[in-house]
Amino acid sequence: MAKHSASKRFFDKLRKKFQLSIFNESTLESIFTLRVSRLDGLFMLVSVGMLFVFLSYLLIRFTPVGQYLPMPVDHGLHNQLLSDAYRVDSLHEELQRQIRYIDVVKRIVAGELPADSTEYDREIPMDTLANHHLDLMHASQREQDFRAQYEETERYNLSSLKSDEQNLVQLLYLPVKGTPVGAFNPAKDSYGIELEVESHQAVLSVLDGTVVYAGFSPDLQYVLHIQHSNDFLSVYKNAVELLCKQGDVVKAGAPIAMVGRSRDTHSRLFLIFELWQRGKALNPLEYLIIE
């Protein structure tokens, strides 16, 4: 009951009328009279607020003023715009790279750049030549120092060589100019092929890589293991002299050893070459072009 009485008194106060009168001071004549309550004032305030909101909507909706106000952010659209911007940037870089590549090919065809070939008269594909001469980006001194430090740290870390099932070998150098005489047969512990040579010559690295083993064996003379990208490992056995040491980084086609020299002119001179990938022996004849 007390709560009901308090509520009644509150609403009575809201409905209580107040009179505002304006008189002429000289004649005491009433010029303006206004009788309002607190409730009337509240209704008037709400009405003015709604009118202000309505007029603001009309101003933003039908005038150019709305263009200068911040619009609500759609996070999905924002992420899509960022993704498209990165994609456009990547396409631009790829386009510039292709333009530089085509320019190098034109210079090779025009004879401005040398088109080298191997000593076995096997011409290197144009794609490899162009990539050899193509400088896609100039590295800063800071980047060069970081590369040198990283390569020194990761020299013996074979796990840093990422495998890619889809990446195929574009060019596999012939290690020596010779005739295959030993067949590849893992069932009989023959994991490579023998390349018989006629003279003392250099052994070439078949791909870019890092020398992970260089040593001497009483049965196989000097032996080299070179780790390449995509988990390829090339093995060279029966060399008579080494031209590199463990930890050296070699390029494809670079001399790494010597083979073929023998005091016994009647002995057979040959190089044993093996090719491995992720612990599995591969048939080198499927990767080499032997004329």
Whether 212 is in a domain gets the answer yes
Do 235 and 224 meet the contact criterion of CB atoms below 8 Å apart? yes
The residue with tokens 């292709």 is 98
Amino acid 12: pLDDT: 73
Whether 143 is in a domain gets the answer no
Amino acid 70: pLDDT: 66
What does the DSSP assignment read for 221-283?
EEEEEEE-GGGEEEEEEEESEESS-TT-EE-TT-EEEEE---S-TTSPPEEEEEEEETTEEE-
Do 271 and 175 meet the contact criterion of CB atoms below 8 Å apart? yes
Amino acid 136: pLDDT: 47
Domain boundary residue, one of 40, 63, 86 = 63
Rounded alpha-carbon distances, angstroms, from residue 100 to 54, 90, 132, 172: 61, 15, 13, 25
- What's the domain range around 228? 179-286
Whether 187 is in a domain gets the answer yes
Residue 278's Cβ-count burial label (10 Å; 0-12, 13-18, 19+) is exposed
Amino acid 209: pLDDT: 92
Please tell me the total count of domains within the chain: 2
pTM of the complete model: 0.44
Whether 168 is in a domain gets the answer no
Find the CATH number of the domain harbouring 241. 2.70.70.10
Domain boundary residue, one of 63, 79, 110 = 63
**291 residues of the chain, pLDDT tens digit each:** 566 677 777 777 777 777 777 877 777 777 777 777 777 778 888 989 999 888 888 877 778 776 766 666 667 777 888 888 888 888 888 888 788 778 877 777 777 766 554 333 344 454 555 555 555 455 667 777 877 777 777 665 555 544 444 444 456 788 998 888 878 888 888 888 988 888 888 899 999 999 999 999 888 889 999 999 888 999 999 999 999 999 999 998 899 999 987 555 556 688 999 999 988 999 888 888 766
What does the DSSP assignment read for 19-62?
EEEEE-TTT--EEEEEEEEHHHHHHHHHHHHHHHHHHHHHHHHH
Do 36 and 20 meet the contact criterion of CB atoms below 8 Å apart? yes
CB atoms within 10 A of CB 173: 20
